[in-house]
Amino acid sequence: MLEESQARQRILDQADSGPVIWVPLELGLDQVLAQDIVGLVDSPPFDNSSMDGYAVKAADATSGSVLVVAEATQAAGLDRELELSSGEAIRIFTGAPVPAGADSVIMQEDVVREGGKITITHGVFEGENIRRRGGDVCAGQRLLDAGSVVTPTRIGLLASQGIPEIPVHSRPLVQIVTTGDELVEPGAPLLPGEIYNSNAPLLHSAVTKVGGVAATSHAADEMDKLREVLGHALSTAEVVVIAGGVSVGERDFVKEVLTDLGVSTDFWRVQVKPGKPFLFGRHEDGTMVFGLPGNPVSAFVTFLLFVKPVIQRLLGKPVQGVDSGQVFAVAKEAIHNRGDRPHYLRGILKGNEVQLSGTQQSHAIFGLSKANCLVRLEPEQEVAAGEQVMVLPI
Ligand code: AMP
Ligand code: MG
C-alpha cells in the first residue's frame, strides 16, 4: 500500500498546468497568469492636475501676487490645448490636462477670487499638484510575471492599461459522480433506509472553492447505470471524482466499471486514515480519475489530500499542503493515534491553539462543519496537551 506522500507525488507527477485561454479581465479573478504582462501605455498618459484650482507658472504665483483668470477652462476629458501666458491663470479641475506653459497648479483654497482675478494667499512650487506622464507606469515596463495570481487590484492595474483580456490557465472541469442506492437529493422525502446525498454539494463547493469548474451526477449501485454515468463523465471532464462504491462491498462496482471503460488503476488504497480505499487511475484519453470513500468526512479529507493539489497544479498555482509549508499548533488536549496509519482528525484552530471538533467518526459531518483544520498524527503518535501538532487548514 502506498504511503500518503508517495501517493500524492505519484498523482502530481502526472499533472501539468492546464491549457492557456484568454478570458475577459474580470473573469480572470483568482486565476494564474500564463504570461508576463508588459505596460502598453504611460500612466498617467499625460501631465494632469491632481487638484481643482488654477494652472499657473510658479514664478508668477508667489504669495500676494494677482493673476488674470483666462476665459477658457480645462476640465477632465477632451484636451482643449490651452496655452498659458505670463501673469495669467487658467481654471483647471482634477484629472484635466495641464495647459502648455503652466508648470504648477495652485489649489483653489489657496487663492481669493474676485471677478476675473485671483490673489494668491499661498504660493506654489514648480511641479506642485501635477501628476506627471508615466509617473506611475511607463509603456514597456514589466507589470506582472507569469504565475502571478490575478487579484482585484491587479485587475484594476490591467484595466488602467487598456487591457481587456488576459491569458490564464483554464479552469479544469471536474465531474463529481456520487454512487449509492441509499442516496436521495436534498428536497425529496426520505424513505426508510435512505439518507441525503451530502457528498455531491460538499465536493461541488470544495472544487469551486479551489478554482475548478464542478458538475455533479449520480449513479445507483448498478453496473449499467454506473457505466452510463461514468462513461459520460469520462467523455466530458478533465478530472472525474467518484464518491463511494470503491470499497470491498458486494455492490462496490466502481473499479470493475472503470476497467470496462478504459480506465487503468494506477493505485488503489493509501496508507492514511481516513482514506484507505482511495483510488487513482487514468483513462486512455488522459482523464484523471479519483475514487474517494463514500463517507462524507473521508471523502472530504481525501479530496483535500489528493484532489485539491491536482486542481491547484492544473490551475498553475503552487501546491500547498502537507508536503510544503507545514503549519504547527499547540494541542489544547491530549491526542493519541493508536493506529498504524497517519490519522487526520478534525480540529478547531484558534490563534496557535488547536482542539478537536466533535465526534471523529467518518460519517460525522456536524463536527466536520465546525472544523477549520485537520490535525495530522503520525502512526502511534501521542501528543500531550501543550505540545506541538501538525495542522492542515481547511
Ligand atoms: P461506500 O463507500 O459506497 O460503501 O459508502 C460508505 C458510506 O458512506 C455509506 O454509509 C454510505 O451510505 C455513505 N455515503 C456514500 N455516498 C454518500 C453521499 N454521497 N452522501 C452521504 N453519504 C454517503
Ligand atoms: Mg455505496
Q: Point out the ligand nearest to the CA of residue 364.
A: 1
Identify the bridge partners of residue 324 per DSSP, sorted by sequence position. Answer: 321
**Over 90: is that where the pLDDT of 322 sits?**
no
Coil, helix or strand at residue 356: strand
**Over 80: is that where the pLDDT of 72 sits?**
yes
CA dist., res. 279 & res. 62, Å (int): 80
Residue 243 Cβ < 6 Å to ligand 1 = yes
Q: Give the pLDDT band (50/70/90) at residue 301.
A: very high
Q: Give the pLDDT band (50/70/90) at residue 324.
A: confident
Asked whether the beta carbons of 79 and 120 are under 8 A apart, the reply is: no
Residue 293 Cβ < 6 Å to ligand 1 = yes
What is the predicted pLDDT for the residue at 127?
98
Q: Please give the biggest Cα pair distance in the chain.
A: 97
Residue 247 Cβ < 6 Å to ligand 1 = yes
Name the grid cell of 87.
501673469
What is the predicted pLDDT for the residue at 325?
76
Please choose from 199, 202, 250, 276 the residue to mutate so as to test ligand 1's pocket, defined by most ligand atoms within 8 A of CB. 199
CA 276 distance to own-chain centroid: 30
Q: Give the pLDDT band (50/70/90) at residue 136.
A: very high
What spacing in Å lies between the alpha carbon of 219 and ligand 2's midpoint? 10
Query: Judging by beta carbons within 10 Å of its beta carbon (0-12, 13-18, 19+), is residue 8 exposed, middle or buried?
Result: buried
Domains of the chain: 2-16+171-322 (3.40.980.10), 22-38+144-169 (3.90.105.10), 48-131 (2.170.190.11), 326-393 (2.40.340.10)
Coil, helix or strand at residue 239: strand
pLDDT digits (tens, 9 = 90+) for 145-199: 999 999 999 999 999 999 999 999 999 999 999 999 999 999 999 999 999 999 9
What is the predicted pLDDT for the residue at 359?
86
Residue with CA at minimum distance from ligand 1 atom 15:
294
Q: Which atom of ligand 1 is nearest to the CA of 247?
A: 2
Q: Which atom of ligand 1 is nearest to the CA of 179?
A: 16
Residue 197 Cβ < 6 Å to ligand 1 = yes
CA torsion sign for 153, 154, 157, 163 is negative
Q: What is the dihedral of CA 281, 283, 288, 294, to 10 degrees?
A: -60
What spacing in Å lies between the alpha carbon of 276 and ligand 2's midpoint? 15
Asked whether the beta carbons of 89 and 106 are under 8 A apart, the reply is: yes
DSSP 317: P
What is the predicted pLDDT for the residue at 358?
84
Name the grid cell of 159.
484595466
Q: What is the mean pLDDT of residues 47-52?
A: 98
**Over 80: is that where the pLDDT of 237 sits?**
yes
Name the grid cell of 345.
482528525
What is the predicted pLDDT for the residue at 320?
79
Q: Which atom of ligand 1 is nearest to the CA of 295?
A: 8
**Over 80: is that where the pLDDT of 65 sits?**
yes
The percent of residues above 70 in pLDDT, for the chain, comes to 100
Average pLDDT over all residues of the chain? 96
Asked whether the beta carbons of 106 and 61 are under 8 A apart, the reply is: yes
pTM for this structure? 0.90
What spacing in Å lies between the alpha carbon of 180 and ligand 1's midpoint? 7
Please choose from 177, 246, 278, 295 the residue to mutate so as to test ligand 1's pocket, defined by most ligand atoms within 8 A of CB. 295
Amino acid occupying residue 124:
V
Q: Which atom of ligand 1 is nearest to the CA of 221?
A: 3
Q: Point out the ligand nearest to the CA of residue 277.
A: 1
Residue 244 Cβ < 6 Å to ligand 1 = yes
Residues contacting residue 118 through CB under 8 Å, at least 6 positions apart: 54, 66, 67, 69, 89, 111, 112
Q: Give the pLDDT band (50/70/90) at residue 360.
A: confident
Residue 295 Cβ < 6 Å to ligand 1 = yes
What spacing in Å lies between the alpha carbon of 149 and ligand 1's midpoint? 36
Q: Which helix (H) or strand (E) holds 48?
A: strand 48-49
Taking alpha carbons only, the member of 349, 350, 361, 347 closest to residue 296 is 361
What is the predicted pLDDT for the residue at 97?
98
What's phi and psi for 19, nearest 5 deg?
-60, 155
What is the predicted pLDDT for the residue at 251?
85
